[in-house]
Structure 1
Amino acid sequence: MVSAVPQHPGPETPEPIDTAATILAGLDDEQRQVATSLQGPVCVLAGAGTGKTRAITHRIAHGVHTGAFAPQRTLALTFTARAAAEMRTRLRTLGVPAVQARTFHAAALRQLQFFWPQAVGGQLPGLLDHKANLIAEAARRLQLTTDRASLRDVASEIEWAKVSMLTPDTYLGSAAGRGEPGGFSATTMTRLFQSYEDVKADRNVIDFEDVLLITVGILQEDAKVAATVREQYRHFVVDEYQDVSPLQQRLLDLWLGGRDDLCVVGDASQTIYSFTGATSRFLLQFRSRYPNAQVVELIRNYRSTEPVVSLANRLLTARRGGSAGGTWSEPLRLVSQPGAGPDPRFTEYPDDEAEAAGVAARIGALIESGVPASQIAVLFRTNGQSQAFEQALAAASIGYQLRGGERFFARREVREAILQLRAAARAVEGARPGPEDEPGERDGADVPATVKDVLSSLGYQDQAPSQGGAVRERWESLAALVSLAGELAAERTAHGQRFELADLVRELDERAAAQHAPTVDGVTLASLHSAKGLEWDAVFLTGLTEGLMPITFAEDQAEIDEERRLLYVGITRARRHLDLSWSLARSPGGRGHRTASRFLDGLAPAATRSRAAGAARTPAPRRRTAAVLHCRVCGTVLTTGAERKTGRCATCPPGYDEKVFEALRTWRSETAKQGSVPAYVVFTDATLMAIAERMPGSAEELAGITGVGPAKLERYGEAVLTVLRTP
């Protein structure tokens, strides 16, 4: 809800006292420049680990404490609920809790709920949590067959289209080069997009993209609403600006209404979500749009040692701006502040099993040397790679947590703990001493100690249990809550603020809503994308082979550049220890077809690379003009890629067993889910049809089918042949 602007400062509005000077203490010169640049457009180009969140939260706090910003009229925007929750926590610690920190969607939904009755009338339609069921219904209306993987692919494509501000009428013109999401052609995808919109209208529901689109529409068409919003919000700060979509940028422009009270923070070298519609274009063109903008570069990396930072810098500079195709901005050159540290380790393994075992052994050695398991991460390109590492860590009796698995706040022991802490907080509040007591007595007991006492009834103890399994996992969850209480208490005390049990409960409620989990003792297993925004003392970057890094379906220069940036993000997650590894074969005893990622050329010592893996790669040969092919049923010339793959017209009857085709589709669906990739990336429907019709009995025969290249043959060939042999 948008509230009226108060005429006088509220009780939470800080007074302009010496706190402003305290806020600037401890900032480096560039961070201080950000924090004191309170007027006009400001663009902060912030490299990884340079303290960008610290700089912008201190800027907001400095602006509020000096009277330049009204806290209720300041809006900080970011892209995930977790990041917004973290920003609110920092702002609270800096004494400015009234400042709003939200995601674009949360801010827009709040406005939409408030203005809908007067701008549109009636009740706001229901908000759709997931698209899958409605897309399935939309497909049934068109008599299209879908499975879970294809529904997920179609949902992603619709989301991309809507944040790119495309409609079913304009989608087809922009769909070139986007493949076949869900196995559907661009024309069929257009019809499915429209059918999905029709189903939503029939059900009277809107999706998350509609929240932004409708808010944009109201602000464009209703001058009164737009004026009210612009009066409410005067100062804007946008974090992770390289991830803004065209739709989010349009909404931000409408919020600003031609003003320039805007501070944006981003790093084009960390643009890794282009497939969702995010673009660094607005960050890179900020100075062109605002010629008077103040630009500050943050390049002092406080996270990583010099060898880690050096490797990250060299990875980016190895890609020259003049490379053919794509766009490439000049990267920031980071300067390490922690200084010396161990050199990154490069290791080649014979197969995936050996790589997982080697990584587990190395992790065991790090833990023995004193590195906490919670400060170690194993990162990979696709979620399907995690299984080998889960097995290897379990075999080594090393605890781990799979990021993206069961949510921390959904665990039974965590829910029980929060209920117990809430009850204890009420008891403390009810027994609070009167005003005649000394201030020290009013502050109550030490919060971390109280938390330990409360959670002891649920099984918490200072020493970790010797046994593993569920007992150990339960203790780790409770220990994470105790640790969080200690961190928050120390942080608030350092800023001269009281911290009570009720404050901890409020923090936990907010974190639960944002799924901002505390650190749990155990090695983290995560995809490179999900690791963005996190950091660890030791990071293992695994599976660095061609076909995984860059991923197989990264074909043009822009897509390959994004893969390079993704590896850069992975490298810069490490504070001190960094291990990079790859394997030559999938299974023990298998043929070593793989080669190390091209991104390691010039980075990994030649001695660690087998055969010609480190040699310069020759450019791919030009594609030959396709020969004229005819349908084997009716003789008509085949024109589309799908027809050429199957060897027949789309209108001619198929020559395959339906059961075989469906078995292949089921296998593809499961494989895509494990790898967290769209189903069509594994194989398109046309390729599966060709496989089902020709029924290859060997890898050589399978390789002769269009759409089965060397990389896919190595990755999926054995599994496909197994499906074909199964009765």
Structure 2
Amino acid sequence: MTEDFFTRKQRQIGVSLNPVQKEAVLRTEGPLLLLATPGSGKTTTIMMRIGYLIEEKGVHPSRIKAVTFSKAAAADMKERFRRFFPEYPEGSVGFSTIHSLASQVMADYLRQRGIGYRVIERHADEPDAAYPALHKTQILREIHNSLTGESIAEDQLEALTTYISYVKNKRIPPDRWDETECDVKEAPSILREYEAFKKSGTDRLLVDYDDMLEIAYRALSEDRRLLAKYQRKYDYVLTDESQDTSLLQHEIIALLVQAHGNLCVVADDDQSIYGWRAAEPRYLLDFKQAYPDAVILKMEHNYRSTKHIVEAANAFIKRNRDRYDKNMTTGNPAGEPIRITSLPDYKHQARYVAERIMSAGRIGDSAVLYRNHHSSVALVDTFDRLGIPFYMKDGDHRFFSHWVVEDVLNFMRMAYTDRRPDLLERIYQKFNAYITREQMEALKRIRNNESVFDNLLRHVELRDYQPKLLEECKATFASLREMSPKQAIWTIRANLGYEKALEKRCERLGFRRDTLIGILNTLEDIADGLETLEAFASRLKRLQAVMREAKFRKGEEAVTLSTLHSAKGLEFDRVYMIDLIEGVIPSAEDIKKFENGNRAPMEEAVRLFYVGMTRAKRELELLTYRMKDGQKAEESRLVSHIRRIRDSLAGPGRPTAAASVEGPKPKPVKRIVAGADQLQKGVRVRCRGFGDGEILDADEEDIVLRLDTGIRRVPIRKCLEEGLLERIGPQA
């Protein structure tokens, strides 16, 4: 009978399973952990298992529950089942997310107790127009503002919501909330206020997605009748992508299958990449402790990638200790060796990738993968300039509304009108005029439509050092109008002291300095080649628009741009992994924790890199560079490891044809000022972006230059690190 099922399905839908896949289909009773390596036919096996339960075991479809991590994954499983078994009506098998299941349990539990509730968390395309203020993010904004006196930035808000989900899903008690790291310094206090606020309503309990899980777990733990109801509802439970599941989610499933134990967990511990979101790979490693009678099967045959990619990825992931020992193999041809490209500077990367894609054939077969969303901005700018269409599943256009971007635009707006106190109010604490809050309030009371700087000088009480600073700032703002956007950004950063102000805010509020400086550097890259400030503002609007439009290009002939996290489950003929340097992957935090004896974050970085590698079917190229933003960049240790693996797999005497490829060599620059001892008064210099001039003075921090564009004060560190000054004239 069993052979009839497999033979019949091969004839009907062309599906043929290997021995391990067949065993996973046939072993229906009791707990099963199915470890599925990348490209091993996991979803096909799941569908065949569900079909076997229905057609051969006589299980009614409604008695089967298949739970997965995301809405997209649940929809994909539902569609795949429809294609395999079209004779069963839609919805006959319960495909859903864990949150959807928890929502049903919670609703039953609260209804029985006569407790009304309102969900305060929705997706961006599901606004609650009737109660806009009762939204999780809005509540957190107001609590943050109340506790700190500061508005919360979007990146900090994201960090705060991630922290809250982590604490809840890890089931960390309130007295230990302070032990969990968060970039938002007041996070534990904000969370306490947030929890109190949700329970303070007189008519309804306010719940977010994490509360759904918490309440559902409590309901199933405390209410025996409710637990029995859901246990009787499903005879077979299957969870997919279980390496992405939190401790709280695992415990809900454990309660659900307690009576019959018919649980099939499909996962790959080597693809667990959501530790920061409370995913619990340890659960998989301890599966036999939770289910002593469990069977563990390993699907290790990769049908997706070439032999070169599979062998390198298989050897690479073994550097991790906390994992099941698996050996991914393939019967596919060897293909091209992994290509490792080292470019001289970060600035060459986006253009290089674009040219490689354009010369490779169909662009729709290519994907560019990166760890951080900010990496996509330079790609979007370059691809748009070159007319290369691209698709972004998870495009994060919040970059363009980031407060640093808005600050820079406000500085530029001040160049055209310095008569608006409201404009000055947005940036007065972020440049070196040292205007106080009291002075700003006094200025706002003056309504004569004159220059804000003149009004400060004439009508507001100032400290002794401020008049000269204000006069200099007024002149600098006026000069911005005549500069190119790139010169203007550089002047805002250096002469107006914006970069120093950012560093102080990082110290005070917990922002990440490298993130904020990276935004400024990206803005300079976007400004490159533009002639006016208006053109720069228009360019930002254009890029924001094309990034928004990019999510609608799915299925079109377009390059896919994606974070490594969002690429999981996808595959492409050609994959380019970019920004592979120390400090990005692994991150500076990963490295710091690793050096202090905590291996977990580094192991997750390895898994993330592995996920990126295994998206490639035919060609894989890893990109690194030696300089970024004027500072030396080190090749990621993970790339170095892949190079050693690749070369050892090639064997002695065998060519690594697509081995390390050096990008264009940087042109040698003569007479660059490389040390502070070369900054003597009277020396003639050429300042990149501003032209020729002469050194007037220098102290420990800054150098004063008389240039063709006026007198400039420039940070010495920036000049030396970025090679901005070149000695010229007879004194050179």
TM-score band, normalised by the shorter chain? 0.5 to 0.7
In the alignment, what sits opposite 2:51? 61
What letter is aligned with 1:147? I
Deviation of 1:88 (Å): 0.6
Question: Partner of 1:304 in structure 2?
Answer: 305
Provide the C-alpha distance between the structure 2 equivalents of 1:565 and 1:473, rounded to a whole number of angstroms: 28
**Partners in 2 of 1:543 and 1:532 — Cα distance?**
18
Q: 1:87 to 1:320 in 2, by over 3 A?
A: closer
Cα contact 2:581–2:635 (8 A) shared by 1: yes
Query: What's the offset of the Cα at 1:374?
Result: 2.1
Write out aligned runs for 1:483-502 (5 A): none
Quick one: distance in 2 between partners of 1:477 and 1:251? 34
Task: Quote the offset at 1:698 in angstroms.
Answer: 6.0
Q: 2:725 maps to what in 1? A: none
Task: Find the aligned partners of 2:80 and 2:610 in 1 and give their Cα distance.
Answer: 27
CA contact (8 A) 2:342 2:625 kept: yes
**C-alpha contact (below 8 Å) 1:243/1:280 kept by paired residues:** yes
Cα distance change on mapping 1:135 and 1:167 into 2, 3 Å: farther
1:102 partnered with 2:96: yes
CA distance in 1, matches of 2:543, 2:141: 39
Distance 1:564 1:473 in 2: 29
The one-letter amino acid paired with 1:597 is: S
1:340 alignment counterpart: 334
**Do the aligned residues in 1 keep the contact of 2:392 with 2:551 (CA within 8 Å)?**
no
Distance in 2, matches of 1:569 and 1:105, equals 25
Within 5 Å, give how 1:131-146 maps onto structure 2: 131-146=136-151
2:581 is the counterpart of 1:545 = yes
Distance 1:152 1:471, change over 3 A: closer
Match of 1:268 in 2: 269
Map of 1:424 onto structure 2: none
Question: Does the 8 A contact of 2:368 with 2:578 survive in 1?
Answer: yes
* Shift of residue 141, structure 1, vs aligned partner: 4.3
Query: Structure 1 residue 341: deviation in Å?
Result: 1.1
Take 1:382 and 1:281, find their aligned partners in 2: how far apart are those partners?
25
Counterpart for residue 598 of structure 1? 637
Indicate whether 1:519 and 2:521 are aligned.
no
Secondary structure of the 1:529 match is: helix
The whole-number CA distance in structure 2 between the counterparts of 1:594 and 1:314 is: 26
| 1:208, distance to aligned residue in structure 2 (A) | 0.2
The residue correspondences of 1:317-336 to structure 2 (distance < 5 A) are 317=318, 319=319, 321=321, 328-336=322-330
> Which stretch shifts more, 274-283 or 469-478?
469-478
Is the CA contact 1:157–1:181 (under 8 Å) kept in the aligned structure 2?
no
Q: Distance in 2 between matches of 1:103 and 1:49?
A: 23
- The residue type paired with residue 358 of structure 1 is Y
Does residue 40 of structure 2 align to residue 50 of structure 1? Answer: yes
The verdict on how the C-alpha distance between 1:698 and 1:215 changes in structure 2, with shifts beyond 3 A counting, is farther
**Contact 1:243–1:278 under 8 Å retained in 2:** yes
| Contact 2:68–2:239 under 8 Å retained in 1 | yes
Shift of 1:331: 4.1
Aligned pair in 2 of structure 1 residues 132, 164: CA closer, same or farther (>3 Å)? Answer: same
Q: Deviations over 1:513-555 (max 9, x none)?
A: xxxxx52320011111111111111100111111111111213
* Cα deviation, residue 313, structure 1: 1.5
* TM-score normalised by the chain length of structure 2: 0.62
- Say if 2:619 is the partner of 1:577: yes
Q: How does 1:145-544 map to 2 (within 5 A)?
A: 145-148=150-153, 149-172=155-178, 174-175=179-180, 178=181, 180-182=182-184, 184=185, 188-203=186-201, 204-317=205-318, 319=319, 321=321, 328-367=322-361, 372-405=362-395, 518-544=554-580
| Partners of 2:41 and 2:21 in 1: CA distance | 8
Q: Is the alpha carbon distance of 1:381 and 1:320 closer, same or farther for their aligned partners in structure 2, counting shifts above 3 Å?
A: closer
The residue that corresponds to 2:26 in the other structure is 36
Whether the 8 Å contact between 1:238 and 1:265 is mirrored in structure 2 is yes
Measured in 1, the distance between the counterparts of 2:197 and 2:701 equals 44
Secondary structure of the structure 2 residue equivalent to 1:533:
coil
| 2: CA distance, partners of 1:127 / 1:166 | 22
Separation (CA, whole Å) in 2 of partners of 1:154 and 1:476 = 28
* Aligned pairs (5 A) from 1:587-626: 587=629, 590-591=630-631, 593-604=632-643, 608=660
Distance 2:551 2:225 in 1: 50
Asked whether the equivalents of residues 345 and 626 of structure 2 are also in contact (C-alpha less than 8 Å), the reply is yes
C-alpha spacing 1:329/1:696, structure 2 compared with 1 (3 Å)? farther
C-alpha distance in 2, partners of 1:28/1:477?
37
Cα deviation, residue 248, structure 1: 0.3
1:75 matched to 2:65? The reply is yes
Q: Label 1:558 to 1:138 Cα distance change in 2 as closer, same or farther (>3 A).
A: same
Residues 296, 330 of structure 1: CA spacing in aligned structure 2 closer, same or farther, 3 A cutoff?
closer
Report the secondary structure of 2:116's partner residue. coil
Q: Aligned Cα RMSD in Å?
A: 3.2
Matches of 2:276 and 2:551, distance apart in 1: 34
Higher CA-based Rg: 2
Q: TM-score, normalised by structure 1?
A: 0.62
Verify the 8 A CA contact 1:117 1:124 in the aligned structure 2.
Answer: no
CA distance, structure 1, for counterparts of residue 386 and residue 284 of structure 2: 45
Instruction: State the partner residue of 1:121.
Output: 114
Q: Name structure 2 gaps, 5 residues minimum.
A: 123-134, 398-541, 594-598, 648-658, 663-698, 704-716, 723-732
Cα offset for 1:399? 1.1
Equivalent residue in structure 1 for 2:9, among 18, 23, 35: 23
CA distance in 1, matches of 2:4, 2:562: 43
Structure 1 residue 145: Cα displacement: 2.8
Task: Go from structure 1 to structure 2 and tell me whether the alpha carbon gap of 1:21 and 1:124 turns closer, same or farther (over 3 Å shift).
Answer: farther
* Percent pairwise identity: 29
Instruction: Check conservation: 2:120, 2:136, Cα contact below 8 A.
Output: no
Question: For residues 171 and 236 of structure 1, what CA distance do their matches in structure 2 show?
Answer: 33
1:497-520 superposed Cα distances (whole Å, 9 cap, x missing partner): xxxxxxxxxxxxxxxxxxxxx523
Distance 2:616 2:2 in 1: 39
Deviations 1:657-697 (A, max 9, x none): xxxxxxxxxxxxxxxxxxxxxxxxxxxxxxxxxxxxxx983
Residue 701 (structure 2) aligns with: 697
Whether the aligned pair in 2 keeps the contact of 1:16 and 1:65 (CA below 8 Å) is: no
* Structure 1 letter corresponding to 2:191: F
Alpha-carbon distance in structure 2 between the residues aligned to 1:474 and 1:146: 26
Distance change in 2, residues 1:116/1:20 (3 Å) = farther
1:41 CA drift (Å): 0.9
